[in-house]
Amino acid sequence: MSRRYEKIAFIASSSPEAAEAESRLVARYGTCDPAQADVVVALGGDGLMLQTLRALMRSGKPVYGMHRGTVGFLMNEFNEADLRERLAAAEETVIHPLVMRAKDRSGNSHEHYAINEVSAFRQTYQAARLRILVDGQVRLPELMADGIMVATPAGSTAYNLSVQGPIIPIRAPLLALTPISPFRPRRWHGALLPDTARVTIDVIDPDKRPVAAVADHSEVRDVTSVEIAMDHTISMHMLFDPGHSLDERILREQFGY
């Protein structure tokens, strides 16, 4: 069912292309503070979309992206005309973020949210040594690799796909646990987990083989353990033009177009 969005807030990336688009759209449709808006329109690439979703994570406000950046997998095509009509006809996709809780070598705790993935990476030339637990049970006593990630369905076509992880349909209640350049066990390609799973990554020998944890763009260095789970209490609402939903785009990726 279509919904009328009267109050629109525009957010643009720092690129000249996005700034120019924002100026024209504000002149045409007006704008308001995101806190008072019915809908937020993000102008840029996927990076801006992720930033906007994180900033509005707990607001419940829908976000409609228009591509004025580099990578636009999460964005709709840019068009100045008939924006209110496009918003009214848009289809909604609801996604949930991952929460990363990491402990560093100094004993400090860090919490960050991710929409695409949480990763653990080696910080030096030496491969990381990692122990993998799922819901408190050791599933892989030792992984030697550049790292490992947990990806959401929304993030399964991003970095996860680049390291040969599986593509997950957006509505599937799954997470992808994907190794990054595994050395041992060499033939382990990862696992699909229910999205209720709690993944713990323990760093073996963190003094000799330091590891950083990254939740999308938030990095914690010199970690000793990382706990990752999907936070189902937070729902983010993304709007897409009919026929170009996130569900459809992820399905197309599985067929290579």
Q: Classify 98-230 by CATH class.
A: mainly beta
**What is this structure's pTM?**
0.91
Q: Largest Cα–Cα distance of the chain, in whole Å?
A: 59
Which of these CATH numbers, 3.20.10.10, 3.40.50.10330, 2.160.20.10, 2.40.30.10, describes 8-96+234-253?
A: 3.40.50.10330
Nearest to 240 by CA among 33, 64, 11: 64
pLDDT score at 214: 98
For the segment 220-238, the average pLDDT, to the nearest whole number, is: 97
Question: What's the one-letter identity of residue 13?
Answer: S
The confidence band for 126, taking pLDDT boundaries of 50, 70 and 90, is very high
Q: Please state, for a pLDDT cut of 90, what percent of the chain lies above it.
A: 89
The model's pLDDT over 183-209, given as tens digits with 9 standing for 90+, comes to 999 889 999 999 999 999 999 999 999
pLDDT score at 202: 98
Phi, psi of 76 (to 5 degrees): -90, 165
pLDDT score at 257: 65
pLDDT score at 168: 95
Check residues 257 and 176 and name the one with the higher pLDDT: 176
Boundaries of every domain in the chain? 8-96+234-253, 98-230
Q: Report the range of poorest mean pLDDT among 4-8, 29-33, 154-158.
A: 4-8
For the segment 119-143, the average pLDDT, to the nearest whole number, is: 98
The model's pLDDT over 83-114, given as tens digits with 9 standing for 90+, comes to 999 999 999 999 999 999 999 999 999 999 99
Whether 213 contacts 120, CB under 8 Å: yes
The confidence band for 247, taking pLDDT boundaries of 50, 70 and 90, is confident
Query: Active-site positions?
Result: 46
Distances in Å between the alpha carbon of 74 and those of 34, 70, 118, 240, 248?
20, 11, 18, 9, 11
The mean of the pLDDT values for the chain is 94
Q: Please state, for a pLDDT cut of 70, what percent of the chain lies above it.
A: 99
